[in-house]
Structure 1
């Protein structure tokens, strides 16, 4: 049956709108969280390490090569080389979408660059840290880091770095839904660059501009901007950036109804995702192919591709991308009439993610409000101190004027009554001004006192030894005392013993630099330990009685959440054992000269369990086996699931006797294991890497398995002969 013309027009309009939304979402989801890194490389004048270029194509290889180079730079005290290597690590983490890794590497690079007194590397490091922070939805902190970079650029101008800052602001604006402002920042970044330089930077700015234009409904201008960006990418090698431009091209092809072009583009994106080992990029490639199949009418293929995209996003924990794909899957599944159980499963998952995202957005909005409130309170404290300084100066000037008038009166009192009368008039006016000034001072002090008492943050004053001089009610309540009881007490008394050395370092930094920021570990009035994020400044009046003004907020929940997220990132979701990410953490945490040992364990005939008893039973065997290993190793040792049915036991600070005893214990108690297994072991030789030790342990395990099979075969032959 032919559809009505109005129905066809409406369908075309819906297709056009969906295409525009797809382009914005795909570019936003992939580019907003990783977009801006302008890896130094082709067409750049900025200092960079060769590994930073290599990370664009082989990020995993670079991450494996970096640890020994980082140790060498630290041992040599070469802060500049250390900063360059950390920027290369941040770039590799960015390419594989590991935002916590990028943020930590960026922060370490900032410290190294500042130690090297290199403003250009410091700005680059601040930008790298801010991008990872923004990708993790901490917009306030990300904006603050960009502000620090801008201040440094005023003292050390650089066209390319200024454009990089504008690029970061453009992405931040897009994340906050301010698309007109995002377009403005992109254009400002393009205007800063002169000549035919910094081609990767220009391409990224054009990509952001195209994304903003698409969100603003300027589809033709967005297509033209994308074409300019695509032409630029042909002049240098950056696979990730090429993938981002391809996602924009997919949107253009969908608008034009060119399904073949959509399919070609989606396959190219999949190839780039496989090349970079980037699961997010792979998921987006499947999403492009799924929507192309939907447009061509192949709903079964569309469901398969979208389900692959959904699994990629779910494995990465990218809930917003997962939500977007689920929305399309539900719509197609309804049209296809899929089984009720499958519909209930994906619908339930959709509702769960939607609720989690809504709660997360509310929590982030509340955190952002608290941060801005704390900043406003700090500004009020600064204004109060400035007002007090102005009033003190006025009082000093008034007193000086009064003294001059008194001396004049002494000189002229005996000679001229007229002069005496004039003096009294002047004195009267002076006293009136003084009374007015003192009244203003008392009023200002009253406002400051009210502000201090009403502040929800923790405000305190202490001397250079840590003795409390003033504490506002909020801080006093948190410490379980009244403000009056706390005055004269040492702040160290309210810290656990483990935090007192750090407090001494804090006082030393204040005396050396005049200010300090960080986190205190404080014992609250309820006896538990709380984390206070503080910002303190040393005030040194002319009378020499220096004191410290500080404010703090309780960030205990954020610290616990951060630790929990880190723990989840290094744990295997099925068994609870560590995953491969723990290998680098284990290796870097061991002293260089201390030995370790590795035991590789592989389950025997595990595939037979899956084939005969089902994968649910196989999963339970893996869980029970991980528990079996954990109960038979030391507390400092680590059980790692390498993948499939292969496990690894890492023995920290181990010698040959420790390795032998552990291996014997595992073999002797194998009856308690849920499945038979074969193990091999290796002890670290001299200063070899962890990877080398594991490789020898693997070889030992395979040798043991071959020997066991040979013995079994010989036994079978003997039995047959008998």
Structure 2
């Protein structure tokens, strides 16, 4: 870090000529600023309080009352041209609108706060207005403009540092990333906000950052960390008297509890949310509370209570025109009613409303995506215009500097010409001696060039014989060497590629993939990585190693790139993986592959709340066939059995041979009756004798069926199917039996 005093004196030396009194004043002011900077650097920075209006804090518990009082106070501040009061009132208005979930109001209040702060020259309040505006836009799905507002806030904050507001910007970025489904980025931004706060006592921002990080980690599957963060947030939120924030924490706590199967905790949190919603008179929280209670009731299998609570949530969201939340709850409600043995009479109306919301919101999202693209293109055009003007100004400065340099050079040449005339005579005396030395030097140089050329030839011969693409790239990402392998890879002679950049040779897509590795190599790091490229219609797997090229001082001047074709190795690995997952006799899945696909299907069905069916099959009296006709005939019977089995099933159904004559069939998203129908078709398909050469062998099958709505683990589901199979065998074989479907299973 540069010393502030030395910087001060450098600035003073560059000042234009001014009077001694003005220079003294400037010196005093700059020294005072430098000593102040030293004091902050050597000690702990003094915490600055964020300017707030009393109504901003009151808005957390009485948003409707604050919104009712604001018009008179705003008019008074406007008449008095009290821009600070006006900006503070607008920020309080944005906060009240946020609690009421009125995002348009929040955005407009943020814009007005920023305009008032600009008029009053209040940079801190200007940043607060930009943050409020950005939050409103993000909640309205206007992501590009929201991101631009946050960028403007960051630029202003760079001039006027303020840790609490820096953390608030990270909080907004975290919310934006979460809304866009970038949960890892959301968690990272929240952590950056917590780091920016450090020891600054800003409990409200800290709790919101903990809430956002917990939300993101829960989506990433790190539920234990998320749960700890929520509990810590609830502990810190206790003294804050912010009901909406507490409700949001209870909401996330309830979601985590549901994921862990703790419906009691989820229900308790749902009731707490409803209590807080009643105190705030916030209809969005009312809907969220009923939604949590309804989903918890669904998890417990209480269809009646689930329907009551979810209907209450739908009505609440519908009343406040919160279509996205209404659509989400309607999906759960309609799904539950469709599974009901006696659907209600208004199910068609609910379904029609859900379809209307899906169509409306999809159309709106498409329009927002178009608007977002237009905004991004306009922003990019503005950035390009700014860069073009900056380049034009730099070119003008360079021309002026070059012109001045040429003038000075001409003057220097005129002066030197006179001196050169004197020196010519002296140089003439030394000419013969210098010529002799020059001839000797030329001879040595020629010999060195010949030796260097021979060495380079040997090096190229060696590199051309290596089965790898070897190249050297300078620090400007330009190729300065390539071996003969380049012709096989790029279809172009190496000498035609020299001087071109990586972007020009490999194209934008491949350049974007290798750019992080290029940057690491130019920083002096040795890197290795694998990739895939389509070369003239042929896929190529490759492995590359980048080794920094340093000069005598240790400075990186570029790097060497060694690239090997590992396509055959990758194909061999893929084939080995495929062979490890199929049954060698029948070509269907083996036990290992079936286990993986069963666990994946159960996870998918549980996530999407769909059903799954498992059929366990045994060929009846197969041991008699093996003992009576030999194992080759037995293998032929198993092969024919598998062929008939696949002919009956859909392409998406999974068929696996676990060993001997034991088969498994996995059906995703069937009804309980569908599995039985499929089992009956399989039994019927096996009743015709199987013809093996001259033998006509009667074959039948026994089947056990187990069905689950996604709540059973794999081992328990297979155990039920196996038990049902034994029931089918006990009933005389050549039939199927289904395990009973238990509630919640």
Q: TM-score, normalised by structure 1?
A: 0.49
Q: TM-score, normalised by structure 2?
A: 0.48
